[in-house]
Amino acid sequence: MNQTQTELPSSDTGSGPRYKHVLALNPYTMDSMGSMGIFPPTGLEYVVTNMKPLVGKVTLVDLRTEKEYADFDKLCEFIRKDVDLICIAIMWRSRFEQVCKLISRLPPEVTTIVGGQTATEEVEYLFQRCSNIDMIVRGEGENIIQQIVSGTPLPEIDGLSYRQNGTAVHNKNGVLPEVAGLSFPDRSLRRYDYKWMENGVRLSDHTFDTILGARGCPYKCKFCTFNMNPLGQKREYTERPLESVVAELKSITADVVLFSDDHFFINPRRSGELCDLIIANGIKKTFIVQTRIEVTRHPDLLKKAFQAGVRILLVGIESPHDRILEQFDKGFTQKQVREAFAIFGTFDFYIHGYFIYGNVTETEEEMVYIGQFGREIGVDSIGFQKLRIEKFCPLQKLVESTPGYHYDRIGGPVYSDKYGLPELKKIRNRIRAAFYTRSQIRRMYQKLHRHGLLGPKDILRVLSHLPVLAYNMRQRKIRKRNPELPAPLCASSPNPETGDK
């Protein structure tokens, strides 16, 4: 319903909520997200939980795992029959055009609101591309959506863009909401369990969930924009009350829980208290946390974290080279990384290290050394991404001022005259080969098995589904090269639970 008024008409002519039935839609498919299918769409869940008391009913549909509305015509039939508001989260660049195509085909007579990281960055394009989008929430949406469904006149809602008389109106940016005042996700809205999926094959029977203990980060790494929203507003580090975090943990039934805090140990005293509360309340979970090497200054805290159930550490290392670390303003050196991992090695954590390659003035051999360095310091697995220039990224000026370096779009990879994208792809394969040797893969499995995350039955499942896995990997590559090709609306062409087509 393309709005020509500054205030939306009520969906209820009598008393009661303004909207009777809201569809909250995660438009991404397993085909587009790969292993991201492990975790629920927590950002969308925060928004719908905070609007839930103000509407009649909320139905949460996640197309990665959807079964009942996997057929697009059936989804549209459900919307036309019973839904008067659609809220869609557009978080990722992956398969963005596919998501736009899906949204543009939804029933235009139903009020449609989109929000999320990529929606905030692509406001004008989305209004142009999808004529049925009525409003776009820019930035963090919990407070904005509450105002919309409560009937606040649209011109008075900061952080909102909307259509009026055929043109787009953009209100001023909103104030970032206080984390302590937000309701944590209502998991009763979920209609699925989240399990470890990779290219359409279930790798484990464990269930996964996420929790947010704090937002923001005080560090200022130049490649990172995670501590900013897409409007360039810096999210200062703010903590949720520990009582609220523990209450949420008690409500979680999943076996494995990711703390999505940028740095779990940023406040060592608070982190220790949280671990004490987890132990005291008998909360038995396997926790995944993100951290920096500075936590090794507190070995007693690491010991306590292990006792509380922390088993996987996601550590941002970024580079083995001091000049690149200085370029990033990372705040440590290669020597300090080695010293930190000597301390990490006294514990039995599974450690996944993050690296960036394709940096300004970085040579091919320096890039390839990432794989060898990862094995030298003892990480169990690595993730490595090409340097990208995001909106408001401090490295943008460096790239633009260095002869021979380029990027084609915000959010896109950096490349150079010497190392174009085809060359960087070959270098990526060399990094992978240098790290993932047979002995390294065996080490990964042994540690995951020791922590109860991967067992013989899981390996047998993967082996039995190798043809399905290979098929889905090929399909993902084809669709990645051809974004306009239609993708399966739900998880994958084969049945992700059984591997059957």
CATH number of 194-457: 3.80.30.20
- Give mean pLDDT, residues 188-204: 78
Q: Do residues 313 and 265 make contact, with C-beta atoms less than 8 angstroms apart?
A: no
- Whether the per-residue pLDDT at 496 is higher than 50: the answer is no
Q: Do residues 142 and 157 make contact, with C-beta atoms less than 8 angstroms apart?
A: no
DSSP string computed for 89-121: E---STTHHHHHHHHHTS-TTSEEEEESHHHHH
pTM (2 d.p.): 0.83
- Whether the per-residue pLDDT at 461 is higher than 80: the answer is no
Give the tens place of pLDDT for each residue, 263-319. 999 999 999 999 999 999 999 999 999 999 999 999 999 999 999 999 999 999 999
Q: Do residues 399 and 360 make contact, with C-beta atoms less than 8 angstroms apart?
A: yes
| pLDDT tier for residue 479 given thresholds of 50, 70 and 90 | low
More confident residue, 380 or 394: 380
Extract the tokens encoding 496: 């992700």
Q: CATH number for the 22-179 domain, one of 3.40.50, 3.30.60, 2.40.128, 2.40.160?
A: 3.40.50
What's the CA gap between 97 and 158, in Å, rounded? 28
Give the tens place of pLDDT for each residue, 382-414. 999 999 887 777 888 899 999 999 999 877 899
What's the CA gap between 251 and 194, in Å, rounded? 16
At how many degrees (to 10) do helices 299-308 and 334-344 cross?
Answer: 50
- Whether the per-residue pLDDT at 10 is higher than 70: the answer is no
Sign of CA dihedral 244, 246, 252, 257: positive
Judged by average pLDDT, the poorest of 7-16, 52-61, 238-247, 362-371 is 7-16
Strand residues in 219-309 grouped as ranges (E): 238-239, 256-259, 286-291
CB atoms within 10 A of CB 361: 13
Q: What is the pLDDT of residue 219?
A: 65
Give the tens place of pLDDT for each residue, 157-184. 999 999 998 889 999 988 777 777 778 8
Domain boundaries, the chain: 22-179, 194-457
